[in-house]
Amino acid sequence: MTQAAAQFATLPFATLAERARSVCAAATPRTTDNGQPFLLVPAAELPALAKFLRDDAALRFDALSDLTGFDLLKYPKAETPDAIAVLYLLFSYRHRHRLALRVLAPRALCTVPTVSALWPAALYFEREVFDLLGVTFTGHPSLHRIMNPADWEGHPLRKDYVYPDAYHGVPHLREGQHFETNPRRAGDPPPPAAAPKPPGGHA
């Protein structure tokens, strides 16, 4: 391996995590269910850690590949079901290594500091997470809905979202239909009978 190639060698996750923990000891390395490593970061520590990850010469995460989130409610393996997870996927074009961060925002105070000042790509990503999951990114210059109409109510990707019946008088479903995820009300049609299982099946 030439010296130039060695300079851009990909660092493993353990090295990246150790380097990140030198400025943010509260960040804990974890793995997802399918073995993908990530750093669990407290929300308060996120701005300082993100700035370090971007500016440190050995790390140099110059790109925010993705910023998304999901609701942990009804997720059976969740340690903190009453929270919404925000995911940050970082990539370094300089060193060709990647790192995943995760921040848990409790549903009662669903607030995470913005990283849009560090990576402008986060401007739209954070609007999407705000629109669909209701996470408020403090410090975002214009945090408003990006996909749903501006007068939409609720955040559709939350697991306890109740589907509205109509939007400006136009019903979402035809008469006699029912959103299966909504709690049933008086007058709703009965739930459809479960389809019979085919004979045989897997051993």
Between 33 and 180, CB nearer to other proteins: 180
Backbone phi, psi, residue 43, to 5°: -60, -35
What gap in Å lies between CA 13 and CA 2, rounded to an integer? 23
Q: Which of 25, 170, 193, 194 binds other proteins (CB under 8 A)?
A: 170
What gap in Å lies between CA 133 and CA 86, rounded to an integer? 10
Q: Binders of other proteins: how many residues, by CB under 8 A?
A: 16
Query: Taking CB under 8 A as the criterion, which residues in 119-158 touch other proteins?
Result: 147-149, 156
CA distances from 200 to 38, 193, 203 (A): 42, 21, 8
Q: Which of 79, 138, 173, 184 binds other proteins (CB under 8 A)?
A: 173
Between 89 and 157, CB nearer to other proteins: 157
User: Residue 190: which residues within 8 A CB-CB, separation 6 or more?
Assistant: none
The span of 41-49, 80-88, 100-108, 159-167 binding other proteins (CB under 8 A) equals 159-167
Q: Which of 79, 120, 177, 188 binds other proteins (CB under 8 A)?
A: 177
Across 163-176, b (16+ Cβ under 10 Å) vs e yields eeeeeeeeeeeeee
The span of 23-31, 101-109, 121-129, 172-180 binding other proteins (CB under 8 A) equals 172-180
Ramachandran bin of 108, using left for φ above 0, alpha for ψ from -120 to 50, beta for the remaining angles:
alpha
State the residues that interact with other proteins by CB under 8 A: 147-149, 156, 163-164, 167-168, 170-174, 177, 179-180
